[in-house]
Amino acid sequence: MHIRRLLPAIVCVALLCGACATTGNRQVTKWSQGSLTQSRLPKFDVPIVVNDRVMAWVDYFQGTGHRHYARYLSRSGRYIPKMQEILKKYALPQDLVYVAMIESGFSSKAHSRARAVGQWQFIKGTGKRYGLEIGQWVDERRDPEKATIAAANAMFSNFAGVK
C-alpha cells in the first residue's frame, strides 16, 4: 500500500463518506473548496487537509468517477462496520477503512497488475508476512475479515513507535 500516494484520494473519499454519514443519505451536495471549511467538516480520527490534490479527487468522484464511487459506497455498508471494529482493536484510526475503499472499491475480487489481491491489495509476500494463507486452493487476501486483521497488523507495526 502506497498510502502517501493515495492520501489525497483517501481524504476525498473520507470527506464524501463522512458527508453521507452526517446527512444520513447517499446523495451528497456538490462540494467545492470554499464549502469545505473546518467548521462544516464531519468529525474524523485522521487529520483532514483540503488542498488542490484532494479537490481534484472530489471533482473526479462527483463528476466522471461518480458511478465508481456509487458502486464503492453501495458495498461499504457491508464491510465498514467490521473493518472499523478490527482497526479499533489495534488502536488504529477507524477512518483507515477508506484505504480499502480506494484500493479496491471494497471488492474482494480486485486485483492489480502487480498481482495484489483483495480489498487491502496485498501482494503475495506481504500477505504471507502478515499471516494470510495463500496457495492453490485458498487465498485469504480475499477474505475481508482476515485481510483486515493482516492490514491492521501491517499498519500497527509500521506506525508503532512513531510519535
Evaluate the CA torsion angle 116, 120, 122, 128 in order and state its sign.
negative
What number of CA atoms fall less than 13 Å from residue 94's CA on the CB side? 14
Residue 70 CB neighbours (<10 A)? 11
Amino acid 34: pLDDT? 57
Round to whole Å and give the CA distance between 12 and 50: 8
Domain count, the chain: 2
- Domain residues for the domain of 32 are 3-66
Round to whole Å and give the CA distance between 50 and 125: 35
Do 12 and 65 contact (CB within 8 A), yes or no? no
User: pLDDT confidence of 61, banded at 50, 70, 90?
Assistant: confident
The residue whose grid cell reads 485522521 is 46
pLDDT in tens, 125-137: 999 999 999 999 9
The residue whose grid cell reads 481534484 is 56
In a domain, 88, yes or no: yes
One domain, residues 61 and 131: no
One domain, residues 38 and 104: no
Reading the block at residue 153, the C-alpha cell is 497488523
One domain, residues 24 and 84: no
Which distant-in-sequence residues (6+ apart) come within 8 Å of 39 by Cβ? Answer: none
Do 106 and 79 contact (CB within 8 A), yes or no? yes
- In the structure, how many helices (H) and strands (E) does the chain have? 6, 0
Q: Which helix (H) or strand (E) covers residue 15, if one does?
A: helix 3-23
In a domain, 72, yes or no: no
One domain, residues 61 and 99: no
CATH number of the domain to which 139 belongs: 1.10.530.10
User: Which of 9-13, 108-112, 127-131 is predicted with the least confidence, judged by mean pLDDT?
Assistant: 9-13
